[in-house]
Amino acid sequence: MPQTTTTTPPTTPTRTTPVTPYRRLLSTPGARAFTLGNLIARLPMGMFSVSAVFMIASAHDSYALAGAVTATGLAATAAVAPWTARLIDRHGQARVAVPATLFAALGSLALLLCVHFDAPTWTLFLSYAATATTPNTGGMSRARWAHLHRDDPATLHTANSFEQAVDELCFMTGPVIAAFLCSALFPEAGTLIGAILLVTGILTFAAQRSTEPPPTARTTTTRSPIRTPGFPALLAVFLCTGAVFGAMEVTTIAFADAQNHKSSAGAVLALQAAGSCAAGLLYGTLRPSPNVPRRLLACLAAMTALMTAPLTAASTTTSLIPLAAALLLAGAATAPTMVTGMTLVQRLTPQGQLNEGMTLAVTALLGGIATGSATAGHLIDSTTPATAFLTPVAAAALALLLCALTVTRADKRPIPED
């Protein structure tokens, strides 16, 4: 019989799309849903203070009053936020975050009504202080990633980098959106829409119960994370890091004002956030050293070095263009430092208290921002804005010194490789 031969058609090689670390991260079941809700809830965090300043200054013609009211809210948040986070760890995110957010939203609406109807000044302070119950949305999101990828340090590193990039994105867009709403619509628009976004985002976030970390009941042996060895030293580093941010913001605005370009200060500061956002996303794709304390030391050293760029630019020219480029460069060290710092917070915080631990770190940052702003402001008034750029350099150097003397000695155990 004649033999028949079969010809196999050539196979076309299939093209596979490379899976990036972030695509892999967001493919985690339930991740996109809670990330969307958290993003909506986190955006108003960059809107509220700017909106309050616009609203109060427009009604009372006093930036001093607007600044005092927002400072009161910051102080109240520093006092209340750790307690809110502790309740979230103990009873669960959805059970605590939703009522806490609703109470905070009522505080924002009360502030809006008090300003609109010209209520006594003391009601402004009381209303804005009520917003201190706003939960740490970024901390809750990081807690979910830590719960979902507790056995995968590489993916958790990517998640922390992603969350830091989201922080920077909200920092860039929040104030711009608030300023546009308050000026294009009416002075209370930023506060009103911010409250609506906050409630909508938290309700969406809290509805994703499948990714929520289980609550952890407190016992007689449960201690605050601040009593964990190495944790107070890390908080001191966060305090100094916050001073870098606060001093840089005030000094940049003052420098732009001295050159009659105050309206451009927001755009210049946004470049620093843009540099940090880009660096954070890139950092998340890398596989860093497993020794987190030493990695934090290296990041702080880079931050200290790069913070000299704005000082040099402001000291040698009066143009905003070199300063903007210097801030873009300086921002490149911000996100890696914050990502590594938050990774160390997650490592040092006792199990079941992650929201409280990260909120304490954020509280230290807020305290540092206030301290850096006040210090830089005093130096601006007594010398020049260019000289005041020494403040963020000194704060970064102090953070580096504290890390070298305390944090790296408190915990030298590397995170195990995957």
pLDDT in tens, 189-246: 888 999 999 999 999 998 888 888 888 766 555 667 777 777 888 889 999 998 888 7
Q: CA-based diameter of the chain, in Å?
A: 107
* C-alpha–C-alpha distance, residues 129 and 200, integer Å: 21
pLDDT at 1: 46
Q: By the 8 A CB rule, do 313 and 326 touch?
A: yes
The continuous run of DSSP H or E covering 70 comes out as helix 63-91
Read off the tokens for 349. 């915080």
> What are the structural domains of the chain?
31-153+173-215 (1.20.1250), 224-418 (1.20.1250.20)
* C-alpha–C-alpha distance, residues 79 and 224, integer Å: 15
Burial readout 387-414 (b: 16 or more C-beta within 10 A, e: otherwise)? bbbbbbbbbbbbbbebbeebbbebbeee
pLDDT at 308: 93
Q: By the 8 A CB rule, do 191 and 112 touch?
A: yes
* C-alpha–C-alpha distance, residues 192 and 116, integer Å: 12
Neighbours of 382 (CB within 10 A): 9
Dihedral angle, C-alpha 383, 385, 390, 396, nearest 10 °: 140
Identify the residue whose tokens are 């056995």. 151
pLDDT at 417: 40
Neighbours of 351 (CB within 10 A): 9
Q: By the 8 A CB rule, do 296 and 340 touch?
A: yes
* C-alpha–C-alpha distance, residues 221 and 46, integer Å: 38
Helices marked H in 117-152: 121-129, 137-148
φ, ψ dihedrals at 30, nearest 5° = 85, -5
* C-alpha–C-alpha distance, residues 289 and 158, integer Å: 14
Residues of the chain with pLDDT under 70: 1-19, 63-64, 67, 172, 217-223, 262-266, 408-418
pLDDT at 11: 52
Please name which of 270, 240, 291, 269 lies closest in space to residue 393, comparing C-alpha atoms: 240
pLDDT at 413: 45
Please name which of 366, 46, 95 lies closest in space to residue 197, comparing C-alpha atoms: 46
* C-alpha–C-alpha distance, residues 11 and 13, integer Å: 6
* C-alpha–C-alpha distance, residues 51 and 56, integer Å: 9
pLDDT at 10: 53
pLDDT at 221: 56
* C-alpha–C-alpha distance, residues 222 and 216, integer Å: 10
Q: By the 8 A CB rule, do 233 and 406 touch?
A: yes
Read off the tokens for 399. 């953070």
3-state SS, residue 293: helix
Q: What helix, strand, coil percent values describe the chain, rounded to 5? A: 80, 0, 20
Q: By the 8 A CB rule, do 264 and 390 touch?
A: no
